[in-house]
Amino acid sequence: NAGVMQNPRHLVRRRGQEARLRCSPVKGHSHVYWYRQLPEEGLKFMVYLQKENIIDESGMPKERFSAEFPKEGPSILRIQQVVRGDSAAYFCASSPPGRTVHGYTFGSGTRLTVV
């Protein structure tokens, strides 16, 4: 019974390149959430998705960042034209419907380093 799977665990990109982070939720979970954690800081909510729908993207930067959760396959967080300030750990979490009751299951994160 696999948990939330994120890949890659570590990702190095040069400034200006694109970063694609993948998240496969717990089997049966239809809700996915992305968070960003800067070194020595808390978790910042980015986006909440259900299959084929963005429910809440209030935490997403207006430019260069996008997220999707297609009908088939993992959720993708995409960062275009990365800058050094994008270096962080990105965590994905999933839940069944009714997140307020069940809480989340987290993945181990993708650590993005922009050089």
Partner 1 sequence: AQSVAQPEDQVNVAEGNPLTVKCTYSVSGNPYLFWYVQYPNRGLQFLLKYITGDNLVKGSYGFEAEFNKSQTSFHLKKPSALVSDSALYFCAANDMRFGAGTRLTVKP
Residue ranges binding partner 1 (CB under 8 A)? 4, 6, 33, 35, 41-43, 45, 91, 93, 99-101, 103-109, 111
Q: State in angstroms the smallest separation of the CB of 22 from partner 1.
A: 15
Q: State in angstroms the smallest separation of the CB of 52 from partner 1.
A: 21
Q: State in angstroms the smallest separation of the CB of 14 from partner 1.
A: 23
Q: Which sign, positive or negative, has the C-alpha torsion 10, 15, 20, 23? A: positive
User: Given the structure tokens 């999707």, which residue do they identify?
Assistant: 68
Q: Which of 72, 83, 62 is nearest to 19 (CA)?
A: 83
For partner 1, give the closer residue by CB, 25 or 107.
Answer: 107
Helix (H, G, I), strand (E, B) or coil at 112: strand
Backbone phi, psi, residue 101, to 5°: -95, -40
Q: State in angstroms the smallest separation of the CB of 42 from partner 1.
A: 4
CA angle 55, 20, 18 (to 5 degrees): 115
